[in-house]
Each structure stands twice: as C-alpha cells, then as structure tokens.
Amino acid sequence: MKQEEKKKSQRLEHQENAGGRGQARLDGFQWLYIATRGIRFRPDRAAVRRELEAHLEDKQADLRRIFPEMSQEEAERRAVESMGDAWEVRKQLAKIHKPWLGYLWRLSQVLAVLACLWLVSFGLFRGEDAYLGDDGYSELWDVDNLPGTAVMGDQDDRRYLPGDDPNQLLALEIGQTEHVGGQNVSLRRAALWQGDDRRELYLYLRVDTWRFWERGVLREEWMKVTDDRGNCYALEEGNYYALVTAGDPPEDGSRASGLAWGGYGPFHSGYEVYLRDVDPEARWIRLDYGPTQPLVSFTVELKEEDQ
C-alpha cells in the first residue's frame, strides 16, 4: 500500500513539475496530495493531510450509510467532488501554513535538546565534584562529592578527613540539612587543625537545588559565625588562599574567617567556611545564615578535641 502511494506521489510530482495542472477527475489520494502539497513544512503537511483524509473517509462512510447500494468508488468520487477545487484549497492552505514558523519551532526544539545535553555533560563531566571522568580534579573529591579525601601534596586538600596527623584535632562528618527558600543547605564536614600559632576550623557546606540556574547560591553577607565565648568570626572578602596566608585580624576585634566556593555540579554548589583564629577555649561554634534573623543555624561541638 505504501509503495503504491509512493508511486502515485512520484507520478503526481512529475506531472506537476512538467507544469501540468490536471483537470481530470481526481481520486481521494490525488485530491489530498494536491491540496496539501503547498504546505512546505512536512510535519504540518502530514497533520493537515490526516485531517482532510478523515473528512473524506467520514463523507464516504456517510454516503454509503445513506445509499447502501452505492459502490466504494462512487462514494469516493462524490466525496472528492464535495471537497471542491484541490488547487484552490492548496493555494489557501499554503498561505496559512508558512514554512518558517515550522522551522522556527523545530529549531527551538533542537536548541532545547542541545541545552539539555549541555546541562547533562556539564554536570557529569565538567562540574568539579560531579564528574564521571578521570580528570585533573578527580583526586580532590571523594565518592560523596565532598572535598578532602585524597592524599595530596597540598595539605589543604586533606584537611577534612580523620587522619593520624598530630595537627588534626578533630574531624566530623556532620550531615545536618536545613531547607531554605527552596534550597537544601547542609553542613557536611568539619575539621579543626592546630596551625603554627593558632587553631583553624574548616567547614564544608553544600547547597542543593533543582533550580539549576541559581546554582545554589549562598550570600556571604548573610553569614555570621559566633562561639560560646562570645567571639564573632567576621567573614573577610577574598579567596581562601589569601585568607590563610595573609591578613591581620579585623580592627573591630572579631576573628578572621572566610568563605570560598568549593565545588559545583548542575544542581548544587559547595562552600568552604574557614575560621582562622579559633578561640582555644571555645566549646562550640555556631554558624547562622539569614538577612537579620537566622534562617538556618548549624552548631559544631568542639569538645571532642579534649578527649
């Protein structure tokens, strides 16, 4: 059947190319072919053809119901006749169904698919802690997508996990999660280290959100860190390395700390908060996050260091 229709289409196309506008009696297939041929966007053409074909079939079925003695061929002939001039219908349909609208729609679909592919590939292969590949970053992150499991030359990359380094006073897998404004903010890990002349506390926060365009943003100015001794750890601007290696304590007496972006994927971002000059007498520190009143609070007990 399909082969036969294809042959008929080719014959009609050939006639048309030769400039022929057949005035002879058309059958249903020919009428549909001519009427829809002016629609250049193929999916549109197929949809219109289906609609007109259904009309022709309804008409034939009705004729045969009213006149049971009528042959199939006669019913088809009368149905086609009642449809009117195929060439006139073709002209009008071609005017309405502009091809560029269809192509624009198709282009937008292609772009949407490309955007999805980009998003997936970005999440799987390009995100620092959401990769599948064995890239330069792969040693820096563990299977939980958390920093600091690998043994690296730079001690900053192994500061979180419990180890036998005498300078590591405490390492905790915390895992507290709070829901804020459609995002899940969680405190995943903490580690307390004894530096040359001061204690340093590292906190790793992760923000998960399905709204990938927001990329799980935390606002630095909403973050406030205090301890049970009444110290306030002011966040300094700048990147992590600058904070660790340089900078005097703020003049207002608060203790230096900082926030850095650490790791990302399509649906999350990681943040490292570090307190450079932790009070040795502090038993806990609390991280509040919110504009004026805290929306989220995480408390880290530092008592274990004494055990």
Partner 1 sequence: MKLDKGLMAGSSTMLVLTLLESGDMYGYQMIEELSRRSNQVFQMQEGTLYPILHTLEKGKYLSSYEQQAPTGRMRKYYKLTRKGRELLGEKKSEWEKFHSGVEAVLSFS
Residues of this chain that interact with partner 1 (CB under 8 A) are 31, 35, 48, 50-52, 54-55, 57-59, 61-62, 82-86, 88-89, 92-93, 95-97
CA dihedral 248, 155, 192, 171 (to 10 degrees): 160
For 143, list phi and psi in degrees, rounded to 5.
-70, -20
Look-up of token digits 């909403």: 222
CB of 83 to partner 1, least distance (A): 4
- Burial letters 67-76, b for 16+ CB under 10 A, else e: eeeeeeeebb
For 83, list phi and psi in degrees, rounded to 5.
-75, -20
Instruction: Identify which of residues 84 and 280 has a Cβ nearer to partner 1 in the complex.
Output: 84
Instruction: Output the six-digit token pair for 36.
Output: 């829809």
Instruction: Identify which of residues 59 and 189 has a Cβ nearer to partner 1 in the complex.
Output: 59
Instruction: Identify which of residues 96 and 111 has a Cβ nearer to partner 1 in the complex.
Output: 96
Nearest-angstrom CA–CA distance, 262 and 40: 52
CB of 41 to partner 1, least distance (A): 13
CB of 42 to partner 1, least distance (A): 16
Nearest-angstrom CA–CA distance, 241 and 276: 11
CB of 82 to partner 1, least distance (A): 5
Half-sphere exposure of 19 (CA within 13 A, CB side): 0
CB of 94 to partner 1, least distance (A): 10
CB of 5 to partner 1, least distance (A): 17
* Amino acid sitting at position 24: A
Instruction: Identify which of residues 62 and 139 has a Cβ nearer to partner 1 in the complex.
Output: 62
For 251, list phi and psi in degrees, rounded to 5.
-65, -25
Instruction: Identify which of residues 56 and 278 has a Cβ nearer to partner 1 in the complex.
Output: 56
